[in-house]
Amino acid sequence: VLPGSADAAGRRATLGVMGGGQLGRMFVHAAQRLGYFTAVLDPDAQSPAGLVSHHHIQTAYDDPAGLAQLADLCQAITTEFENVPAEALQTLAHTRPVAPGAAVVGIAQDRMAEKAHFAACADVSGVTCAPYAVLETPAQLQAIQENRADLLPGILKTARMGYDGKGQVRVRTAAELAARWAELGGTACVLEKLLPLTAECSVLVARGCDRQVASFAPQRNVHVGGILAVTHAHEGNMPPALATRAREAAVAIAEHLGYVGVLCVEFFVVDDGSEYGRLVVNEMAPRPHNSGHYTLDACDVSQFDLQVRAMAGLPLPQPRQHSPAIMLNLLGEVWFDANGQMQEPDWHTVLSLPGTHLHLYGKMHARAGRKMGHLTITGPDVVSVKRVARRAAELLG
Ligand code: ADP
Ligand code: MG
């Protein structure tokens, strides 16, 4: 699908996205910059992406009429929302190229399938995931209680629909495991060993249907309460040897999936007594990722540009980062003062700091934990970026 083109009837080349959150919004911006029209399917009338798109189809993700309309409008379709029903992508794929495809999105939606994939390609990726066991039946619970003391203390994670630390609980004992699993309704879970993390990082890979691959250097991520808080994307953010291994592993994982589109692979760095620690693969997201937002301001091509290019079958050049960067996530908390009173952040002062790039997602109501926007700080060198980031973080409470 060439940018700015039109068909014989004069209809403009249009790219579609399932999901209208902030990732969809930034995708829409990137697509529009190249001259594409855009269509967003999201039930929410006020969805961040729906608000800025040429077309907003306001139906449920599995609504046959909505899907038909999206397929009719668009020459290619992607997703920004990993819990979009895989069947909906399957339906769209009957008539339109869909990237990433339903099968790989299905794998990323299910921690059991995801871990099985990581295990299947461990030989080529060179990394394994944390020791774990699948927990779907009472018999499996009993087997874990009897034979897998090595997994405790651990983290019990629902196999599906978990994000930002939701759907997971820490368990210390076999008795606690049974109680917590019951509280989760006995739904399919994985029990993962709690590892001594020294750091977390992620890698963004873009892959085209012609097997071109581009990737960004790993970024180091700091989570607070299970939600990404800060991303460090600059020299010295992690040991170079680990960074190289993480990048190669992420590319191997994407290739082994036959992936088309942008994939984010998250890793743990685990203290194993060695100098830099050991790399463990955690999970993957079949879309651009919060940890890659800095690429909008610090790279010549962003993760969203690569998503557009990959789905449209355009060239995927290796991106170049031109500035060191730190990204601060702006959660709903930032909109409340110490007394819980709503208050607009002091953007005037924040924006007076050099190299600050404010991105707000157009969400009307701030809530604790809700991703309202992000602030990327770029600068000529790591020291000044860190200094401004510290100051901005102070201002934002
Ligand atoms: P989510 O889908 O919510 O992002 P993750 O599996 O990435 O779920 O877990 C969220 C966070 O919890 C991780 O970023 C990490 O900080 C912590 N965590 C998850 N699994 C483990 C583990 N096995 N050992 C130690 N910390 C973990
Ligand atoms: Mg995660």
- Are 308 and 28 spatial neighbours (Cβ–Cβ below 8 Å)? no
Which residues are near ligand 1 (CB < 6 Å)? 130, 155, 157, 162-165, 192-195, 197, 200, 223, 226, 266, 282-283
- As for the ipTM of the complex, it is 0.98
283 known ligand binder: yes
Residues 190, 148: Cα–Cα separation, whole Å: 13
pLDDT at 338: 86
- Are 91 and 70 spatial neighbours (Cβ–Cβ below 8 Å)? no
163 known ligand binder: yes
Same domain for 78 and 38: yes
Q: Which residues does residue 288 pair with via DSSP β-bridges, in sequence order?
A: none
CATH number at residue 47: 3.40.50.20
Of 193, 211, 240, the residue at which a domain comes to its end is: 193
Span from the CA of 132 to the centroid of ligand 1 (angstroms): 13
CATH number at residue 211: 3.30.470.20
H or E, element range at 243: helix 240-257
pLDDT digits (tens, 9 = 90+) for 230-240: 999 999 999 99
Amino acid at site 172: R
114 known ligand binder: no
> Which atom of ligand 1 approaches the CA of 157 most closely?
6
243: which residues sit within 8 A by CB, 6+ positions away?
201, 217, 218, 237
Confidence tier at 82 by pLDDT (50, 70, 90)? confident
Residues 61, 89: Cα–Cα separation, whole Å: 9
Per-residue pLDDT, averaged over 271-278, amounts to: 92
Span from the CA of 291 to the centroid of ligand 2 (angstroms): 10
For residue 3, being part of any structural domain is answered with: no
Q: Which residues of 320-349 are buried (b: 16+ CB within 10 A; e: fewer)?
A: ebebbbbbbbbbbebbbeeeeeeeebeeee
Tokens of 379: 């600068």
Per-residue pLDDT, averaged over 161-181, amounts to: 92
Same domain for 180 and 68: no
Per-residue pLDDT, averaged over 25-33, amounts to: 98
pLDDT digits (tens, 9 = 90+) for 365-380: 999 999 999 999 999 9
CATH number at residue 160: 3.30.1490.20
Q: Which residues does residue 312 pair with via DSSP β-bridges, in sequence order?
A: none
> Which atom of ligand 1 approaches the CA of 221 most closely?
14
Helix (H, G, I), strand (E, B) or coil at 266: strand
Span from the CA of 283 to the centroid of ligand 2 (angstroms): 6
Confidence tier at 164 by pLDDT (50, 70, 90)? confident
Tokens of 142: 């009993």
Same domain for 319 and 374: yes
- Taking the alpha carbons at both ends of the chain, their separation in whole angstroms is 45
pLDDT at 234: 98
pLDDT digits (tens, 9 = 90+) for 122-152: 999 999 999 999 999 999 999 999 999 999 9
Residue to probe by mutation, ligand 1, list 197, 202, 281, most atoms within 8 Å of CB: 197
Per-residue pLDDT, averaged over 204-233, amounts to: 96
H or E, element range at 168: strand 168-171
Span from the CA of 96 to the centroid of ligand 2 (angstroms): 30
195 known ligand binder: yes
pLDDT digits (tens, 9 = 90+) for 295-327: 999 999 999 999 999 999 999 999 999 999 999
> Which atom of ligand 1 approaches the CA of 193 most closely?
23
From the CA of 111, which ligand is nearest? 1
- Tell me how many domains the chain contains: 3
Q: Quick count: other Cβ atoms within 10 Å of Cβ 84?
A: 23
pLDDT at 295: 99
Q: Which residues does residue 16 pair with via DSSP β-bridges, in sequence order?
A: 39, 77
Same domain for 386 and 262: yes
- Are 213 and 148 spatial neighbours (Cβ–Cβ below 8 Å)? no
For residue 9, being part of any structural domain is answered with: no
pLDDT at 81: 87
Same domain for 201 and 347: yes
Least confident of 16-20, 50-54, 183-187, 263-267: 183-187
Q: What is the DSSP letter of 348?
A: H
Same domain for 354 and 272: yes
For residue 121, being part of any structural domain is answered with: no
Q: Quick count: other Cβ atoms within 10 Å of Cβ 35?
A: 12
Same domain for 227 and 85: no
pLDDT digits (tens, 9 = 90+) for 225-267: 889 999 999 999 999 999 999 999 999 999 999 999 999 999 9
168 known ligand binder: yes
66 known ligand binder: no
Same domain for 255 and 205: yes
Burial class (CB in 10 A: 0-12, 13-18, 19+), 239: middle
For residue 118, being part of any structural domain is answered with: no
Span from the CA of 165 to the centroid of ligand 1 (angstroms): 7
Q: Which residues does residue 128 pair with via DSSP β-bridges, in sequence order?
A: 280
Same domain for 281 and 235: yes
Same domain for 301 and 183: no
Per-residue pLDDT, averaged over 49-60, amounts to: 98
Same domain for 209 and 291: yes
257 known ligand binder: no
For residue 126, being part of any structural domain is answered with: no
Q: pTM for the complete prediction?
A: 0.96
Of 178, 193, 208, the residue at which a domain comes to its end is: 193
For residue 119, being part of any structural domain is answered with: no
For residue 81, being part of any structural domain is answered with: yes
Residue to probe by mutation, ligand 1, list 151, 155, 270, most atoms within 8 Å of CB: 155
Q: Pick the residue whose CA is nearest to atom 15 on ligand 1.
A: 226
pLDDT at 71: 98
From the CA of 167, which ligand is nearest? 1
Per-residue pLDDT, averaged over 198-226, amounts to: 96
For residue 7, being part of any structural domain is answered with: no
Full domain range(s) for residue 68: 14-108
Same domain for 136 and 243: no
Spacing of C-alpha 374 from chain mean position: 14
Tokens of 350: 């924040």
